[in-house]
Copies of this chain bind each other. A is one copy, B any other.
């Protein structure tokens, strides 16, 4: 078999994503990541430097996917509501990603690297939001993007918490999806009104 460094890298990233999503940064174990990837531990250090570098690579991938995948077009508060619902579905298909972002918000909120990543990733979204809500200032648009994101991420990342008590999951999911859209529309209307 040929050397495929890209594949090795990818296996590590996949295993790391799972590990970080499950246990967070502090709880994640480098040895476990290497073992689950079926790759030697040294590869982590030669590819990503250290545990921190690995986390940032994982987070960067996740943020990029998040901000590049879901379109934000159309016009008016309804478009914002649609976007929020689409984002809700997006996270529904990637259970680990929401948790990863929750961890990051809790554990590494102050990290300048994360802030840079976020700012870069958000840029396009904010401009799209300005086009969708022409009356809103850039500040308002940025705020709205982050509000909607936080809402969706927080809800998905923490939702397993009540799997314990909620019996009818699909129905709950639909309810929440609708309420996210309602909340997003409400915020968009408030912003549009000034």
Q: How far is the CB of A105 from chain B (nearest CB, A)?
A: 4
Main secondary structure of the interface of A (DSSP, over half): helix
Nearest-neighbour CB distance to chain B for A83, whole angstroms, equals 15
CA–CA, A61 and B120, complex, Å: 40
Given contacts A178-B186, A182-B182, contact A147 B165 (CB under 8 A): no
**Shortest beta-carbon distance, A194 to chain B, in Å?**
11
Partner of A99, one of B26, B106, B153: B106
In the complex, how many angstroms separate the beta carbon of A40 from the nearest chain B beta carbon? 25
Given the known interface contacts A183-B179, A186-B182, the answer about A107 and B27 at a Cβ–Cβ threshold of 8 Å is yes
Q: Per-position contact with B for A134-156: 1 when CB-CB < 8 Å, else 0?
A: 00000100110011001101110
Complex Cα distance, B103 from A146, in Å, reads 21
Task: State A165–B149 Cα separation when bound (angstroms).
Answer: 13
CA distance A155 to B115 in the complex (A): 18
Can you name 14 extra interface pairs (CB under 8 A) apart from A115-B164, A179-B184, A179-B187? A24-B26, A102-B106, A102-B154, A105-B161, A119-B165, A142-B166, A143-B165, A143-B167, A143-B172, A146-B161, A146-B166, A147-B176, A178-B190, A183-B183
29 A-B interface contacts by CB (under 8 A)? A23-B26, A24-B24, A24-B26, A102-B106, A102-B154, A103-B106, A104-B161, A105-B161, A106-B106, A106-B157, A106-B158, A115-B164, A118-B165, A122-B165, A139-B167, A139-B168, A142-B165, A143-B166, A146-B165, A147-B162, A150-B158, A150-B161, A151-B155, A153-B154, A154-B154, A154-B158, A176-B187, A179-B183, A183-B183
